[in-house]
A and B are shown apart, each in its own frame.
Chain A
Amino acid sequence: MNTQHTKVPDGTEIKLAHSHARNAGTKLRPEWFEDIAVNRSATERRAATLTTRRTVKKEYQAAWLVKAITCIDLTTLAGDDTAGRVRRLCAKARRPIRDDILEALGLADENITTGAVCVYPTMVPHAVKALHGSGIPVASVATGFPAGLTPLPQRLAEIHYAVGEGAAEIDIVITREHVLTQNWQALYDEIVQMRQACGDAHLKAILATGDLNTLRNVYRASMVAMQAGADFIKTSTGKEEVNATLPVSLVMLRALRDYGELSGQTVGFKPAGGMKTAKDAMNWLILMKEELGLPWLQPDLFRLGASSMLADIERQLEHYVTGRYAASSRHALA
């Protein structure tokens, strides 16, 4: 167990408990990934049957849905984001389920919140303010999100800015070119510098897997990011043509498992983009449980990058409690 401290400009501090020591990275070890064999058809078959082999019903389903909420990085990453928009999102993050539902689930005292709120850097101050006292961390995308093609000094400055405004987590994007040209050293060096810029803030490395195209590339990029010290590896920005998919996630989890075996260190996983339903949440939870086990079902090692998913989960929970199908108008907007 260790605790992550995040200083907020108003002088207060957010403490986040982690069940594992922070990934310190390794030196660049291409021999861990260069010859990796990833067979697409075999991967897809496994991914396709994973969610047909397992299911959860009744109170188990309700519990799993609540678990999903606690792992959500409730996200807004739009050009028209404003302080007001962010405040509304944060309010939902603090109180993701209506009180009566929560009560009926027997969770009134559990302080159920989302895992984090995820915003653009300039929105960080608004989010920090809105979440004051909740203990919910603010995650900020950075480094020229989503394409990541601004010069490195600016990208690093962006991280410094977000951290300075009180972001506890930085979702960086990698330079896809380094993967597509297999320039592992460049990719490694870039992420190492970003990790340094993060300081105590945790770094989530967005691989933009939809741009990487092949599963081998996904595995290799995952490995380099972990070797460079990423705390999380994350699938997508949500802006690529293809975002989080189960086969891609499976490959990243296998990389994560291999990295754990080879380095003895622990890294988290965040699928993002395209996941909209409670069913999606269950699928990813099943994937995590089957491939990595219980520790990776906790918000310190698993996050779901989503926005509309929460609404669907809340509707399902109400149905579980009342036995009647719910309408979204009866749930607070995020």
Chain B
Amino acid sequence: MGQIKDILRTMEYGPAPESNSDVKNWLEINAKGFGHFINGKFTPVEGRKTFSVSNPANETVLAKVAQGTAEDVDAAVKAARGAFGKWSKLPGHERAKYLYAIARHIQKRERFFSVLETMDNGKPLRETRDIDIPLVARHFYHHAGWAEMVETEFEGYSPVGVCGQVIPWNFPLLMLAWKIAPALAAGNTVVLKPAELTPLTAIAFAEVCHEIGLPAGVVNIVHGDGETGALICGHDDIDKVAFTGSTEVGRIIREQIAGSEKKLSLELGGKSPFIVFEDADLDGAVEGVVDAIWFNQGEVCCAGSRILVQEGIAERFYNKLRKRMETLRVGDPLDKTMDIGALVSAGQLKRVSALVEQGKAEGGTLWQAKVELPAKGSYFAPGFFTDVEPASTVCEVEIFGPVATASTFRTPDEAIALANNTKYGLAASIWSENINLALDMAARVKAGVVWINSTNLLDAGAGFGGYRESGFGREGGREGLYEYLSADWEKRLPPVKAEPALKLSAAPDGDAKVAGTGAIDRTVKNYVGGKQARPDGGYSYSALGKGGQVIGQAGLGNRKDIRNAVEAAAKAGAWGAATAHNRAQVLYYIGENLSARQAEFEALLVESTGVSTKAAAEEFAAALRRIFYYAAQSDKYDGAVHATKSRHVTLAMNEPWGVMGIVCPDEMPLLSFVSLVLPAIAMGNRVITVPSTRHPLLAANLYQVLDTSDVPGGVVNIVTGERDVLARTLADHDEVDALWYFGSKEGSAMAEKASCGNLKATWVSNGRQRDWLSTGQGQGREYLRRAVQVKNIWVPYGE
């Protein structure tokens, strides 16, 4: 023991390995391989195709796991469907007991899960022990609570059905918890596929499900690669798809299930800004970087991977970062003194290395920790780039490794421009001691999660999810539960009544039946940026009224009209920044001015749609009430403060999407237009509306009303023409943030499919008919919820 004398001089840490003998025993017992968990049982592996799972820290094989086939997926979905009826009808309290038991059991086996996760994924034990597994337990506890309350807290909503869930390898068990906990709480059953690189904690989780006596079929776990994932997402009997992973795969899923009426939530990639102002606590911010990009080997979708520093302090900050890198420890993830373990696989190491090499080749300067990496295993030394600009590959592409980029800005305005200069919008971290500045940045950054003077804070009670191509839908909190619930009324809608196909002709028609002569000719133009605009193509089509008579012409809008309208809408951003009270005033004024023209609108409804005067009056009255309803909601449909950590305010703010496309149906052309456009603009969106193709003349009268109601130019834009042609252009348009499509089933499928370009959020009618007159179906909070995205802003406090 002469060594102690030497250690007294060097004061090194020495090895501190966590024992993994229990996990090794478990793996040994299961050496023949792990099957799927279907209908409460593990499927046999003998004679089945398997793949091997290895420990990226030392390249040893840990287990063999069955590769899911179409039959396996079928069996799992069938089991989930079979279990759904009973599970969904259980009293919430009964489901709560199961979720509570899961939380308890995870806690009771926390170290087993931590060690297994570390061996499977390569992340340091410090993280699985202190972060992953405690968050998993917290997620199930939190959702045990929702299970208890879901019936009363979400009246009018019910579970979606069978959920297909595909999760990534960076937080294997935590992502499982984020998927399964809310699904089960709401009364759904699930078929989940873990990532093929990291399936082991999901298997142990299945054993916990067995242990607590969860009814068979409620949770099914099928293993495999992307093909298996595609089989689950594409399965006919799946009602909801939830995916966390790359934007690339998210896009494929969006396309794959377009038109299937499946509910979809996507949590995708990111390139999140980490903004450091000159008045920030720089040492604190340096530790923020450690917790951001040097956390989980940088394999974090919400990692603050783009460091933006105010120019005057940049060198000082970089010096501090370089200094801090010297004490980072990289190595055996089971060693309790390691900050950084191994990347998840050799493949990932190759990908990260290639991107970093490209960064250097493009002129970036790489500052990397001088650490000795273990000879074996997928290790990568942490670092950051300087001398990189937005145009550099490494600033654009998600590296998904422990390497950040660092560049400078001069002013808050420039900071926000750079921060938002990305196709992603998952998270942002803002460092400043000036609360005015920090909150201003938080409001202006396009990101679903904003951390002020902090980073990577997660809690089951707060929503997590992205803007833009980082996906849509939220996980956690009240907002997350909606992803696993459907409005009852929306579930039971009948198909739209078939109407004779409409052929729009731009040519004059010599045979047309023409309505009364003698009146002054009426022309409907488009309405763009607050002005009437002739259709770009110079074509119009005839609108037919009762009995097929021509009652006027409307512009036959084309791509360019949509382009112009989107441009106008994009410029009208001030609308979203106006006070909710201001917007309410404008909405009320629309009601006031519409009311003044009651007779004219009712007559036009009769003339256009052929309804009785009584029906027209009813529609008009409903439209007025609806306007008042959304005017009222403008300043009342607001956010929440989530109870997350102590001494934190976690604000869940409802933010408008920005630019929305709204494609209106033919039925009740006035009421449906108002029912769709008003909630959107009440929440601060600017819209491009395609009014009923069949009854376009109302649009002209409507824009006259808008014109006189102080609606700022560009907030409501109207382009008439062929529904699906214009919808397609809107769906394709990358500047359009969300699209509501109300039309045919085919059109709905087309709109969803085409929306995958920028992964805009969609709400489509799937060719179903809702009763616009009913306040239950034609208006309500569901419309408002669809008109916003929730931004969670974490504001820690304390001097």
A→B interface (CB under 8 Å): 35, 37-46, 49, 52-60, 62-64, 66-67, 104-107, 110, 214-216, 254, 285, 289-290, 294, 297
Q: B residues 642-656 with Cβ under 8 Å of A?
A: 647-648
Distance of A193 from chain B, by nearest CB (Å):
31
Contacts of A58 in B (CB 8 A): 14
Cα–Cα, bound, A66→B336 (Å): 22
CA distance A182 to B2 in the complex (A): 52
**Is the beta-carbon distance between B433 and A39 smaller than 8 angstroms?**
yes
B24 to chain A, nearest CB (A): 20
Inter-subunit contact B797/A41 (CB<8 Å): yes
Given the contacts A56-B16, A60-B12, A289-B11, A39 and B453 also touching, CB distance less than 8 Å: yes
Dominant secondary structure of chain A at its interface with chain B: helix
Residues of A within 8 Å of B13, CB to CB, are 54-56, 60
Interface secondary structure of B, over-half rule: loop
A41 to B453, CA, bound (A): 8
**9 pairs across A/B with beta carbons < 8 Å?**
A39-B280, A39-B284, A41-B797, A41-B798, A49-B291, A55-B337, A56-B13, A56-B337, A105-B1
Q: What are the 3 tightest A-B residue pairs by CB atom distance, in nearest-first order? A: A42-B284, A60-B14, A41-B796
Please state if B15 and A57 are interface contacts (CB–CB under 8 Å). Answer: yes
B311 proximal to A (CB < 8 A): no
Choose from A45, A62, A214 the contact partner of B4 (Cβ within 8 Å). A62
In this complex, the member of B279, B336, B647 whose beta carbon has the largest number of chain A beta carbons within 10 angstroms is: B336
When the two chains form their complex, are residues A59 and B796 in contact, meaning their CB atoms are under 8 A apart? no
A43 and B16 contact, Cβ closer than 8 Å, known pairs A52-B130, A105-B4 = no
Determine how close the nearest CB of chain A comes to the CB of B289; give it in whole angstroms. 11
Q: Mark B274-298, 1 if CB is under 8 A from A, else 0.
A: 0000011111110110010000000
Contact at A59–B14, with CB atoms within 8 Å?
yes
Which of B3, B4, B336, B454 contacts A42, CB < 8 Å? B454
Shortest beta-carbon distance, B27 to chain A, in Å? 25
Q: Which residues of A contact B796 (CB under 8 A)?
A: 39, 41-42
By a CB distance below 8 angstroms, the chain B residues around A297 are 11
What residue of chain A has the Cβ atom nearest to residue B6's Cβ?
A: A63
Residues of the A chain whose Cβ atoms lie less than 8 Å from the Cβ of B339: 53
Q: Among B1, B279, B280, B284, point to the contact of A59 (Cβ < 8 A).
A: B1
Question: Are A37 and B280 interface neighbours, CB within 8 A?
Answer: yes
Cα distance, A89 to B433, chains bound together (Å) = 47
Besides the known contacts A43-B284, A56-B16, 20 further A-B residue pairs in the complex with CB atoms under 8 A apart: A37-B281, A37-B282, A38-B281, A39-B284, A42-B284, A42-B453, A42-B796, A49-B291, A54-B337, A56-B13, A57-B14, A57-B15, A58-B14, A59-B3, A64-B7, A66-B8, A106-B4, A215-B799, A289-B11, A297-B11
Min CB distance A262 to B, Å, is: 12
Q: A39-B453, A254-B283 are in contact. Are A290 and B327 (CB under 8 A)?
A: yes
A45-B291, A214-B799 in contact; A56/B453 too (CB < 8 A)?
A: no
Write the chain B residue with the least CB distance to A70.
Answer: B8
How far does the alpha carbon of A155 sit from the alpha carbon of B281 in the complex, in Å?
A: 36
Interface flags for B306-340 (1: CB within 8 Å of A; 0: not) read 00000000000000000000010000000011010
* A290: chain B residues within 8 A (beta carbon): 327
| Minimum C-beta distance from A4 to chain B (A) | 22
| B8 x A106 contact (CB < 8 A) | no
B287 and A46: CB pair below 8 A?
A: yes
Chain B residues closer than 8 Å to A67, beta-carbon distance: 8, 11
In whole angstroms, what is the CA distance A123 to B281 when docked? Answer: 43
Most buried by A among B283, B288, B327, B339: B283
Chain B residues closer than 8 Å to A41, beta-carbon distance: 453-454, 647-648, 796-798
A42 and B327 CA atoms in complex are apart in Å by 19
A42 touches B799 (CB 8 A): no
Closest to B647 in A: A41
Q: Which residue of the partner chain A has the closest CB to B277?
A: A37
How many residues of chain B get a CB closer than 8 Å to chain A's CBs?
Answer: 39
Chain A CB within 8 A of B5 CB: yes
Residue interface bits B10-33, CB-to-A below 8 A is 1, else 0: 111111100000000000000000
Does any Cβ of A come within 8 Å of B753's Cβ? no
Residue of A nearest to B797 (CB): A41
Residues of A within 8 A of B4 (CB): 59, 62-63, 66, 105-107
The smallest C-beta distance from A62 to any residue of chain B, in angstroms, reads: 6
In the complex, the chain B residue whose C-beta lies closest to that of A42 is B284
A59 CB contacts on chain B under 8 angstroms: 1, 3-4, 7, 14
Which residues of chain A come closer than 8 Å to B694, judged between CB atoms? none
> Which A residues lie within 8 Å of B130 (CB)?
49, 52
Given the complex of chains A and B, what is the CA–CA distance between A104 and B288 in angstroms? 44
Residues of chain A within 8 A (CB-CB) of B16 are 55-57, 60
| Contact status B5-A110, CB under 8 Å | yes
Residues of B within 8 A of A66 (CB): 4, 8
Contact B14 A46 (CB under 8 A): no
CB <8 Å contact, A216 and B799: yes
Q: Is B626 in the interface zone, CB < 8 Å from A?
A: no
Q: Please, how many angstroms separate the alpha-carbon atoms of A63 and B454 in the complex? A: 36
Report how far A235 CA is from B15 CA in the complex, Å.
32
CB-CB contacts below 8 Å: B506-551 with A: none
Contacting pair B288 A42 (CB below 8 A): yes
Which chain A residues border B280 with CB–CB below 8 Å? 37, 39
A40, B282: Cβ atoms closer than 8 Å: no
Neighbour of B11 across the interface among A38, A57, A62, A64, CB < 8 A:
A64
Residue pair A40, B798 in contact (C-beta under 8 Å) = yes
Nearest CB to that of B10 among chain A residues? A294
Q: Does B126 contact A (CB under 8 A)?
A: yes
Residues of A within 8 A of B453 (CB): 39, 41-42
CA distance A63 to B9 in the complex (A): 9
Residues in B whose Cβ lies below 8 Å from that of A35: 279
The closest CB in chain B to the CB of A104 belongs to B1
Chain B nearest CB, measured from A40 CB (Å): 4
Min distance, Cβ A37 to any Cβ of chain B, angstroms: 4
A259–B583 Cα gap in the complex (Å)? 54
What chain A residues lie within 8 Å of B797 (beta carbons)? 41
Contacts of B12 in A (CB 8 A): 60
Closest Cβ–Cβ distance, residue A296 to chain B (whole Å): 10
A40 touches B454 (CB 8 A): no
* B residues in contact with A54, CB < 8 Å: 13, 336-337
Q: How far is the CB of A292 from chain B (nearest CB, A)?
A: 10
Smallest Cβ-Cβ distance to A46: which chain B residue: B287
Which B residues are CB-close (under 8 A) to A107?
A: 4-5, 8
Question: How near does chain B come to A82, taking the closest CB pair, in angstroms?
Answer: 35
The interface residues of chain A lying within 8 Å CB-to-CB of B327 are 290
CB distance from B512 to the nearest CB of A (A): 72
Instruction: Output the least CB separation between B433 and chain A (Å).
Output: 4
Determine the chain B residues whose CB is within 8 A of the CB of A104 once the complex forms: 1
- CA distance in complex: A186, B578 (Å): 51
Residue ID in chain B nearest A109 by CB atoms: B5
Contacts of A45 in B (CB 8 A): 287, 291, 454
**Across the two chains, which residue of chain A brings its CB closest to B15?**
A57
CA distance A297 to B433 in the complex (A): 33
Which of B8, B648, B796 has the most A CB atoms < 10 Å from its CB?
B8
Q: How far is the CB of A207 from chain B (nearest CB, A)?
A: 17
Among residues of B, the one whose C-beta sits closest to the C-beta of A61 is: B14
For A52, the chain B residues whose CB sits under 8 A away are: 126, 130
- State the Cβ distance, B567 to closest chain A Cβ, in Å: 42
Among residues of A, the one whose C-beta sits closest to the C-beta of B286 is A46
Residue of B nearest to A67 (CB): B8
Q: Is the CB of A106 within 8 A of B433?
A: no
**Cβ of A158 to closest chain B Cβ, rounded Å:** 34
Q: Are A56 and B14 within 8 A (Cβ)?
A: yes
Residues of A within 8 A of B282 (CB): 37
Q: Which residues of B contact A214 (CB under 8 A)?
A: 799
A contact residues around B283 at 8 Å (CB): 46, 254
Q: How far is the CA of A64 from the CA of B8 in the complex (A)?
A: 7
Contacting residues, chain A, for B10 (C-beta < 8 A): 294
**B376-418 to A contact mask, C-beta < 8 Å, 1/0:** 0000000000000000000000000000000000000000000
Q: Are A63 and B8 in contact (CB under 8 A)?
A: yes
**Residue from the set B130, B284, B287, B453 with the largest chain A CB neighbour count within 10 Å:** B284
